[in-house]
Structure 1
């Protein structure tokens, strides 16, 4: 029953609570990405750079290096002698911890609700982000300390998507699923934009790479306070929900099962072909996503020779377009399904196909555009704009297959996808030791092949239908 004080505050909430929850979850992802991606920008100003005029002697490489930035880098007091391989290990170490906590995060969210699980995980990440400069400076750049900090930060963020999916499964009706979820998942793209733009501006203005970690750590703490104040794991627990919304959710979510009464049907989940096709397809998408989200700033810096301020601006443009397109396509998907133009299965497969193969083609095209900065940025922008179809395709599929176990399912699916996040920076570090255009072209062709193979699995075996094991099996007392 709603407490008396909740009734008093209900009139001040003009926006339905499920929409507030979607916005706060989007801001959670945005905050998580600022803390995750900031190192990808900052690391370009933390390390000793080789002399490009000596290193670059291939006619296919760009010769637009900005001498202003060369002087800025050389004037810094502290630089760390991390080669491309070492940088790849550091960037990928986040995902070692991210992998560990995914499935436990899903299970805990199903059993105890996603609010506290997600809040605790992002609080750990925010604190580590805030003290990261101190840790790295105290250790004098010892990569062991850096890696441990990134691993623990990854563990804190690994619960994010499973917890969000568990909460959305409890709050979001099927007819609004793509629309609300697309707003939520757009936080990843907008967070990358915010990180790139603000990081580039802060570092070029303050001449201090540490400033980005202080800012994003503090913002993470502010979000955490608001999250714990405003949001709840289950509609039943929210003290300030209007009677109208409460009745609507009870009607639409009548099949919801309280998480503390559930036993997770692991055998059914692990033998389900739609689940495994989703795992394979998501892994392929995650590879391409991590290639651009983690290493696009390095490509802009090392190949196209953008300075740090330009790097932040132009690296962010593709993600900005992607964020808005994700929201637009989410509402379009709901419209097509509700009007019976597409079944849920057809919608998920169609949107996923476009979201995989479109980016693959544009990435390849960008690698053959040489040093034409405008054209390369345009092609990367198109690549990520089209990738936004994925977020109303595969990204929603765990909710389609099992609303009741969506948190656990997302933990499993995203957990496998994390292997892509671990491998991508590491493989890129190995295959691009000189950071040349030809080396990066190999990366983009590899991404094309991965997209093609993994998407084929989802097209053949994927489904948008609720699975039979979604309904918990009740034990009969004789």
Structure 2
């Protein structure tokens, strides 16, 4: 049997998200080591770690627009080349703050185009009954990349220095860009009426006609005032608040909160992200099964998985500081991130349910909120820890970290309620 082209596209987007998150985890590990060696305080570390998300936030909606007008395939390639070149050319020096800030802004802007482009590509290539597992597989690449980064990069930093992480990331980016350039293509336009009605197989680009170009008008106002869109936005914010706080501050929590080096943790430090990879794909398979077997409607399926995922994650996040061993902290963070990933089969696929033709645009809007969560959460965590030190609390004390994990835990409860009340699995944008 011939291997379907859409499967190849999904595999390539999976590898794409993996490489992106190797870069993000890699920077937090390399910069933490370099900054601690240079005596940088926690608040300043939080500012630098959050700089990426400013650039990332600025390019989400433009990324969706560019993917809609130019094509997700082309935009994806250009953005990957840009961030890879930035990693290759900019040195990691905590004392050169301006250079580091500009570099992280550039990487953030470039990577901000990636996810709206991916959603545009998948909306074109993947039929509705395969969307949950396809999106879950693609996004699970983030977590496998983060797991691989947590496992391998601390040793690379130890033996080759923090700068070696940048070189490795640039090489991975170049290799993926070559694969995408060689094997990716735009989908053939579908003539099947049901496929066209769902947005599957359609070119989302302007259609050339003899008398000019007819461009589909993007319903910006309808998108921005839609309650189902806002249900996705709120949950995207909460998901990324929890994810980015853990991704950027878990190394510091293990080093200062539990007095353990990442080297001592061995392979166990990758478990939270490996759990995300597993649960993300479990959620996708369950969602598609419930929908295709008509056990639940699309709306009820999305709400069920989103609610279970976020409520379990909230409990696990809140109790993290009560465990004073590496095993307890890794178990709680693994449960939290795993069930958040399960919840993605609710809100994250919902872009394609309600607006398949504008999936990149809606993804850009909701991912802007997710990026703002990175700016707020990562920076706020640094300030909370610095305030704890000012109050004469040792950062090895659980009280110093309680607010850090309580905030995303409460947000998870609030977001699950919003999704239950306002989300839908029905198509609402033509």
Q: TM-score, normalised by structure 2?
A: 0.91
Equivalent residue number for residue 165 of structure 2? 212
Instruction: Return closer, same or farther for 1:34/1:143 CA change in 2, 3 Å cut-off.
Output: same
CA distance in 1, matches of 2:186, 2:260: 44
Match of 1:7 in 2: none
Larger Rg: 1
Matching residue of 2:177: 224
1:327 aligns with 2:315: no
1:41 pairs with 2:21? no
What does residue 422 of structure 2 align with?
461
2:408 maps to 1:447: yes
User: Hey, what's the Cα distance between the residues in 2 that align with 1:262 and 1:350?
Assistant: 34
Alignment equivalent of 1:114, drawn from 72, 96, 109: 72
Distance 1:262 1:315 in 2: 47
Matched, 1:253 2:195: yes
Q: Is the 8 A contact 1:128 1:153 kept in 2?
A: yes
The alignment of Structure 1 onto Structure 2 pairs a total of residues equal to 410
What is the SS of the residue equivalent to 1:254?
helix
How big is the shift at 1:386?
Answer: 1.5
Residue 349 of structure 2 aligns to a residue whose secondary structure is helix
Corresponding residue number in structure 1 for 2:99 = 145
Checking the alignment, whether the CA contact within 8 Å between 1:170 and 1:253 is kept in structure 2 is: no
1:230-266 Cα offsets, whole Å, 9 max, x none, are 1123334xxxxxxxxx88xx57622335321311011
Unmatched runs of 5 consecutive residues or more in structure 1? 1-10, 49-78, 237-245, 472-478
Kindly indicate whether residue 65 of structure 2 is the aligned counterpart of residue 104 of structure 1: no
CA shift for structure 1 position 390: 1.7
**CA contact under 8 A between 1:284 and 1:455: conserved in structure 2?**
no
User: Does the 8 Å CA contact 2:53/2:374 hold for their aligned counterparts?
Assistant: yes
How far off is 1:311 after superposition?
Answer: 5.0
User: What RMSD over aligned residues (CA atoms) do the two structures have, in Å?
Assistant: 1.7
Q: d(CA) in 1 for partners of 2:263 and 2:154?
A: 4
Residue deviations 1:446-478, cap 9 Å, x none?
1122112222211111111100xx22xxxxxxx
1:385-406 alpha-carbon deviations (Å, 9 max, x no partner):
2222122110101111110000
Does the alignment pair 1:313 with 2:267? yes
Bigger mean CA offset, 345-354 vs 277-286: 277-286
Asked if structure 1 preserves the Cα contact closer than 8 Å seen for 2:262 and 2:269, the reply is: no
Q: Distance in 1 between matches of 2:266 and 2:82?
A: 26
- Kept in 1: contact 2:50–2:374 (CA 8 A): yes
> Which residue in the other structure is 1:125 paired with?
83
Query: Counterparts of 1:262 and 1:251 in 2: how far apart (Å)?
Result: 18
Q: Distance in 2 between matches of 1:414 and 1:287?
A: 11
Q: Pairwise mapping of residues 53-452 of structure 1 onto structure 2 (< 5 A)?
A: 79-132=37-90, 134=91, 136-137=92-93, 141-206=95-160, 208-236=161-189, 250=192, 253-255=195-197, 256=199, 257-259=202-204, 260=206, 261-311=215-265, 313-369=267-323, 371-433=324-386, 434=389, 435-436=395-396, 437-452=398-413
Structure 2: give runs of 5+ residues left out of the alignment: 207-214, 390-394
String of CA shifts for 1:111-169, please: whole Å, max 9, x gaps: 1210111111111111111223x2x44xx722111111000100000011100111111
1:163-198 deviation line (CA, Å, top 9, x unaligned): 011111111111111111111010110110111111
Normalising by structure 1, report the TM-score. 0.82
Instruction: Compare 33-42 and 184-193 and name the one that shifted more.
Output: 33-42
* Structure-1 separation of matches of 2:39 and 2:300: 51
C-alpha distance in 1, partners of 2:266/2:124?
A: 37
